[in-house]
Structure 1
Amino acid sequence: MPFLGQDWRSPGQSWVKTEDGWKRSSDEKNNNVPEAKRCCEHEEFYKEELFLAMSYDVAAKKRKKDLLNNNNSSSSAKVPYFHRDKWIYVHKGSTKERHGYCTLGEAFNRLDFSSAIMDTRRFNYVVRLLELIAKSQLPSLSGVAQKNYMNILEKVVQKVLENQQNVRQIRELLQTLYVSLCSLVQDMGKSVLVGNINIWVHRMENILMWQQQLDNIHINRPTSKGMTLTDLPACLQLNIMQRLTDGRDLVSLGQVCPDLKDLAEDRLLWKKLCQYHFTDRQIRKRLILSDKGHLDWKTMYFKLCRCYPRKEQYSDTLQFCTHCHILFWKDTNHPCTANNAESCSIAVSPQGFINLFKY
């Protein structure tokens, strides 16, 4: 028995839609063609149209994906992803008012880190947070958060290339991130990173390009003939050196000229630096004597840095309100219901920021 559809048309016949309804085509050529051949031709035509439609959809999706993943080399194709929230509510469980919990990636997306890196007071804070995320927390971020991470990192590199400051710090950040990505892609497998593996290869190439740009940076000396550091009295130069919290900065400063080198080797300067970063107990465990029988504070400092974490100090940090569980920047008035909101706010270090979202 031949197949009959719901509209009583069998396969292979040509029908046209008219005002009176569907009617069989009166084309003599089609009538002279056997029914099986007309059916085959109709099927081939349908397959060709379907293939063209699928090819168009695939091409359109690929172009859209390349645009979102910043694979296009032109700057106009890059779509940055920045949020500008000054504060967020950190909830760690479902309640009647809120469902779900806040993740590290969500907090990283919503807080205004894109503007924070333009603030000199918050720059070191954000860079340290990027470094900690690169070391261990990158796989825990969502795909949008990972993309936002790379966009903010690119903005940081461009800022350093423009003002020629914090070059060594950003170079170390890029090296840490590149080593972590190599480990994630090769050792642990590509499944820990969200997105196509080619996207991350492209991002790793960008990191190498940024490292090359930082290596080729040339710091221009000021053209004005004003007073310089070497023109100041030795006591003022030593007082300025005491404000430095990184021993590597002291070593670099001592390489400028012989006079600064003698001041950079001052034992009292390195002693205060050790006492600032480390406790007395930690110092007693790493005592080193020089050839003259005195404590070699400079050598002790670099040895202590390899054994213990240094003290971190930032001009401005994120604040966490213990009363309303809101994470906010210091200059933001968050909606706190406490009588004394300042007493409920505590400073959050970069590591403390990450610890807030460990469940």
Structure 2
Amino acid sequence: MTSPIYCSTDGSGPGSQWIRTRSGWRSSESESTVEESPPDREEVKELLSSHVTKQWHKQCLVQAQGIKGAPPSRAGASENLSYLPILTKTTQEFGYTTLGEALRRMNFLSALDDRAKFNFILDLVHFCVKERLLSLSGCAIRRLLAISSMAIDKMEERSEFGSRDDLKTTLDVFIKKLTEFKKIISCSHSAIQQMINDSEDLKLRLISLQLPVVQRKKKEINLVELPNEIQDKILLSLTTPKDLDRLAKADPNFGEIVSVFEEIHLKNMVDYHWREAEKRDWRLPIWKSSAPESDCENLTPSELRDQHKRLAKKHGLRKDYSSILLFCPKNSILFWDDSEHPYSVNEENLQKILPADFVAFFD
């Protein structure tokens, strides 16, 4: 006697079939008896989060001036912004914000008019050139050159040459990196060579800055005529030996003060820039630390100058900025600290973005 044959979509049993449900495929005896399982909580949260993020990115692009739905990389009217909406994740409609895009769209050029932001922007350019130059687009590299050119104009206009050496170092790194890159690539070098030529022209301008001639008023007080207390404060505010030497050459009276109190001022400069543990490492190579305390005791002025020079290469100089950038994680907005939140939100958890942080922020 033969066993009966059951006709169904699945040979495992009579009348059963595979049904697709929220939790996957399952076997059911009939279509009418399919059990509808409730939606998974995590799945619902993920869908809602994706929807909110998508809508928020659209809102960021609309609120940025001049964008109106166009991709950020093609929105020319959205440049020179005092704040920048940051898109940190790639979506189906829009890409994420890159370092080059931030350099182009933020108002770094016009912000050079503000003395409080000047040093911040110069250091930002330095870190971009030093760490990310070859990964930037041609448009972003030209923007760095434009910022450098504008900075030179402001130095000459204000007769503030304190940042000249720093900018010269940045341009040297710029030329060196592009020259090495030109040797590696095998395509046309015309655009790269033009950037190198432009940076060399900026170096020449930087070296030959002209001090504007200003007619001195009869009753105007000279630096030497200031009270001794103010002169001492000026000397104590100097942060590099070069500044000390320049001031000594500017006036014989200051030259005498520097010659007598040189050791005190040099020690004050070292104390200003570095902590105790860092100061002891000046005789050690860059990769070593934890030197004995005796290495920084009873140093002569020449040794203090050497200590300052070596520590500057090893640990860098301390930088104080009057104005910095802030980032709001909640609204994903980057803006200057001297302005209000672009969306008028009282947000307390704001992140401080220093020049070195700005470069790593878009990684």
TM range (shorter): 0.5 to 0.7
Distance 1:290 1:261 in 2: 23
Equivalent position SS for 1:328: strand
- Once residues 358 and 186 of structure 2 are traced to their aligned partners in structure 1, the CA distance between those partners, rounded to angstroms, is 27
Instruction: Give ranges in structure 2 of 5+ residues lacking alignment.
Output: 1-75, 283-294
C-alpha spacing 1:220/1:335, structure 2 compared with 1 (3 Å): closer
Aligned ranges 1:208-223 → 2 under 5 Å: 208-220=200-212, 222-223=214-215
Kindly provide the amino acid, as one letter, of the partner of residue 168 in structure 1.
Answer: D
1:324 corresponds, among 331, 352, 355, to 331
CA gap 1:106/1:237 in 2 versus in 1, 3 angstroms: same
After superposition, the Cα gap between the structure-2 partners of 1:295 and 1:216, relative to the gap in structure 1 and judged at 3 Å, is closer
SS at match of 1:347: strand
Q: Do 1:289 and 1:295's aligned partners in 2 also have CA atoms closer than 8 Å?
A: no
- Comparing 214-223 with 273-282, which one deviates more in the overlay? 214-223
Task: State the partner residue of 1:235.
Answer: 229
Sort the Cα spacing of 1:207 and 1:143 in 2 relative to 1 into closer, same or farther, 3 A: closer
Please, which runs of 5 or more residues in structure 1 have no aligned partner?
A: 1-79
Q: Deviations over 1:307-331 (max 9, x none)?
A: 2122111111111123322111123
**1:337 to partner: Cα distance:** 7.6
The answer to whether residue 115 in structure 2 is matched with residue 110 in structure 1 is no
The one-letter code matched in structure 1 to 2:334 is: L
Give the aligned CA root-mean-square deviation in angstroms.
2.9
Q: Deviations over 1:104-149 (max 9, x none)?
A: 1111111111111121111111111111112221122123222322
Show the 5 A alignment for 1:1-359. Answer: 83-94=79-90, 99-166=94-161, 167-186=164-183, 188-189=184-185, 197-220=189-212, 222-224=214-216, 225=218, 226-264=220-258, 265-286=261-282, 287-288=295-296, 296-336=303-343, 340-341=346-347, 343-358=348-363
Q: Residues 245, 190 of structure 1: CA spacing in aligned structure 2 closer, same or farther, 3 A cutoff?
A: farther
Task: Give the Cα–Cα distance (whole angstroms) in 2 for the partners of residues 94 and 218 of structure 1.
Answer: 48
CA distance in 2, matches of 1:314, 1:261: 30
Bigger mean CA deviation after superposition, 175-184 or 212-221: 212-221
User: 1:205 Cα deviation (Å)?
Assistant: 1.9
Does structure 1 retain, via aligned residues, the 8 Å contact 2:326–2:350?
yes
Aligned residues: 270
Instruction: Tell me, yes or no, if the aligned pair for 2:130 and 2:170 is still in contact at 8 Å.
Output: no
- What is the TM-score with the length of structure 2 in the denominator? 0.66
Asked if 1 retains the 8 angstrom alpha-carbon contact of 2:156 and 2:211, the reply is: no
In the aligned structure 1, how far is the partner of 2:257 from the partner of 2:327? 41
**Aligned equivalents of 1:139 and 1:273: distance in 2?**
35
Q: Share of identical aligned residues, percent?
A: 23
What letter is aligned with 1:83?
Answer: E
* Residues 149-205 of structure 1: per-residue CA shift (max 9 Å, x gap): 22222222333333332333333332232222222222x3266xxxx5212222322
After TM superposition, the runs of 4+ consecutive aligned structure 1 residues lying more than 4 A away are 288-292, 335-338
| TM-score calculated relative to the size of structure 1 | 0.66
* Alpha-carbon distance in 2 for matches of 1:125, 1:347: 13
CA contact (8 A) 1:82 1:112 kept: no
Cα distance in 2, alignment partners of residues 332 and 304 from structure 1: 36
Per the alignment, in what secondary structure is the counterpart of residue 250 of structure 2? coil
